[in-house]
Amino acid sequence: MGDYLVVGVHSDAEVEQNKGPCVMKEDERYAAVAGCKWVDEVVRDAPYVTTMEMLDTYDIDFVVHGDDITTAADGSDCYQMVKDAGRYRECRRTVGVSTTELVGRMLLLTRDHHIRGSRSVRSPIQGVDAAAVADFSQGSPAGVLTGIAHYLSTSKKIVQFSSGREPAAGDRVVYVDGAFDLFHTGHIEFLRRARELGDYLLVGVHDDQTVNAVKGGNFPVMNLQERVLGVLQCRYVDEVVIGAPYSITKDVLEDVYHVDAVAHGASDQPLDIDGKDPYALPKERGIYHEVDHPGLDLTTSAIINRIIDNRHVYIERQARKAKKAVSEAEAEQREKEVRAALHI
């Protein structure tokens, strides 16, 4: 739609006033947006209601938003001013991808979002207090949360996200792997530092069954397709191996590209289901590296614990979002009717 993308990110205070409590803290959200390869500039503490003054301050030609209306705390359209000024564009909203959807999955502790999942009895989630989870799910009325959406990607979408770049002759290829669930700033900082070990970063993303077999519970919160796209949008990633084996094999190191280095975060790594070290082969070859970074404390389990620790707050958030969604849908329908009448 344009040549330079500026993304405004709201502060925690603005989001809480107009929408509800944030899952990610504002500094984490600033870093996450800055890590997206399509973003040129991040505006911190952007106003929740977009103003003409802000557009002029940052020399912005037009604002882009999904084709769903977003309202402020007072019920007003957040983009009405820029719409009236003719500086507004819409893109189709991706159904099933939202913070509300992901919070709902965590609240419900469901596995229904897995592409192919077992329907066995839930097991305790690694890194999350089992008693808290049990109490949490029993006290969470499904009606105020969310239905489980099944986001399905296509080859076209994968191509849109892929860099399409091959390693050049002499490039040092670095391989990392993981679940990359609820893709967050801890992942981004790790990938940035891993990329510094070479010239080309290849990322293996484990499938849903592998992650669930190792971590248990309802992990992963995001399914394989969602997690692959989350990794591909990161500016430090060159290519992804979809459904990579949990234990690194000769095929991984030699058949995709010749891998010169394997990196893993400097934290405890669960053993494979056969009890073996998944990094045994790269360690034997002397190409294994541990990467230390400041985001080690931010994990998928830590994010889930934020939801669990503030259980009632997030249930209320989901209820408010559901009620707000109804009013926004009604406003969206009225706007479509007006446009149709005016032949816009």
197-236 per-position pLDDT tens digit: 999 999 999 999 999 998 887 789 899 999 999 999 999 9
Taking residues 60-87, what's their average pLDDT? 91
Task: Say if CB 61 and CB 52 are below 8 A apart.
Answer: no
- DSSP of 206-246, one letter per residue? --HHHHHHHH-TT--SS-HHHHHHHHHTBTT--EEEET--S
Residues 6+ apart with CB under 8 A from 159: none
Question: b/e per residue, 136-170, with b = 16+ CB within 10 A?
Answer: bbeebeeebbbeebebeeeeebeeebeeeeebeee
**The pLDDT of residue 300:** 84
Q: Which of 166, 149, 152 is nearest to 103 (CA)?
A: 149
Cis preceding-peptide flag for 141 (omega within 30 of 0): no
Task: Say if CB 100 and CB 149 are below 8 A apart.
Answer: no
How many whole angstroms separate alpha carbon 90 and alpha carbon 74? 23
How many whole angstroms separate alpha carbon 202 and alpha carbon 171? 12
How many whole angstroms separate alpha carbon 181 and alpha carbon 13? 26
Quote the pTM value: 0.78
β-bridge partners, 19: none
Instruction: Find the range with the poorest average confidence among 29-43, 93-107, 184-198.
Output: 93-107
Q: What is the pLDDT of residues 283-321, one digit of tens each?
A: 999 999 999 887 778 888 888 888 877 776 766 655 665
Q: Identify the DSSP state of 36.
A: B
Residue 254 in this model has a pLDDT that exceeds 70: yes
Q: What is the distance in angstroms between the CA of the first residue and the CA of the last residue of the chain?
A: 19
Beta-sheet strands, E only, within 145-302: 173-178, 200-205, 239-242, 261-265, 288-291
